[in-house]
Amino acid sequence: MLDNETINIVQSTAPILKENSKQIGQRFYQLLYSKAPELYNVFNQTNQKKGIQQEALGYSVYAAGEHITNLDAIKPVIERITQKHRAIGIKPEQYPIVGETLLHAVKDVLGEAATDEILDAWGKAYGYIADAFIQIEKELYQETAHQSGGWEDYRAFYIKNKVKESDVVTSFYLKPKDGQPIATYKAGQYLTIKAEIPGEKYTHIRHYSLSDAPGKDYYRISVKREDAHGDAPAGIVSNYLHNQVQEGDTLQFSAPAGDFVLKTAKNPVVLISGGIGITPLLSMLNRTVEQNQNQEVTFIHATTNSQTHAFKDYVAKLAHNNKNIKSIVCYSAPTKEDQHFDKKGFIDLELLEANLPSNEVDFYFCGPIPFMQAINKMLKQLNISSDHIYYEVFSPIAMLENE
């Protein structure tokens, strides 16, 4: 346990790190890659270019420092990070260089304000936090490898089927090349791909939500092709999967992971998705249909129009055939041909309020950051307890209220 002096220094200086979190994150990755260039093969370079990874690091450091005496207070952040660390294969021996580089970055950004006393305190705090992460990740590695159908590191899967779901989304049905059983998963979790792409200098690792119910002899991921727009670069892996990978090709995946999962409660559920955020929620919807046909489900999906609407006919059929499922579709820019949707524009407070099944409802949502911030704000306005709100962020940043 940390001594009181160290705790006081860390907690008193945490706001300073928060104020400079973006610059610290940027400097950290500059230094890290110069010290350990092999980590280019681990971290998402697209997120690096967007500055997302840097902001995520800065936020995580600040949050851990602020709650150094009660890490349970940031349990969602810790769960999300440790699950992703297990998925991409972070090992205990990688923690020391990260800590060393982090302190170097803090010193470079804060200058004389980062005294030896402050750096020493944060060094001790980092060691304490790293030990906690390492222990959690050790348990995750063991649990994953020892479960039925589980495996360590990455495993070869071949593409059994490649199915176009919309103009921008394609599904990939994956079966193990060794023909052995595969691990089950919880609805809402993801697979992690390690892609060796021709012409790319580094390996690229990405997480893709599993879009079908668990319990099958295959995995299915549904991937949106990310095209370049404005300052945002095209998605390297998504374009590789859409344009180059074909049925029969082999890809490497780690075992399912993730903390955004469907709970076992019998409360009515509202599943809210924006764009490609439909994928984990579709897994939850399918799971509910298979396991609990009496549970009330409201499935709200927002997208541009029918051309970008993945699984449109499938969800409509589910709702038609299951009286406990209600489907609501919002198109922000419907085409002239679009007839079958419920609202033009965005999901708003009025729509949510009109479709609340009861007071005891569990809400799950996923989509782009601005979409999720808006949904989270509306749920708060409806006085929905945080105990009934669950979400997945397709970025390294874990807490909507701090984005």
Edge-first strand listing for the sheet containing 297-303 = 343-344, 325-331, 297-303, 269-274, 362-367, 389-393
Query: Please, are residues 121 and 114 in contact by the beta-carbon 8 Å criterion?
Result: no
**Tally of CA atoms within 13 A in the half-sphere of 127 that contains its CB:** 11
**Residue positions annotated with a catalytic role:** 95, 137
Query: Please, are residues 209 and 392 in contact by the beta-carbon 8 Å criterion?
Result: yes
380 contact partners, CB below 8 Å, separation of at least 6 = none
Query: Please, are residues 207 and 196 in contact by the beta-carbon 8 Å criterion?
Result: no
The residue among 221, 387, 371, 214 whose CA lies nearest residue 303 is 371
What the block records as the tokens of 151 is 């495996």
CA distance linking residue 161 with residue 176, whole number of Å: 13
Which residue type does 400 have? L
CA distance linking residue 349 with residue 374, whole number of Å: 10
Query: Please, are residues 183 and 151 in contact by the beta-carbon 8 Å criterion?
Result: yes
Which residue type does 242 have? H
Distance of CA 130 to the CA centre of its chain: 21
Bridge partner list, 363:
270, 389
CA distance linking residue 309 with residue 287, whole number of Å: 21
CA distance linking residue 92 with residue 339, whole number of Å: 55
DSSP letter string, 197-243: -TT-SS-EEEEEEB-S-SSSSSEEEEEE----BTTBPPPHHHHHHHH
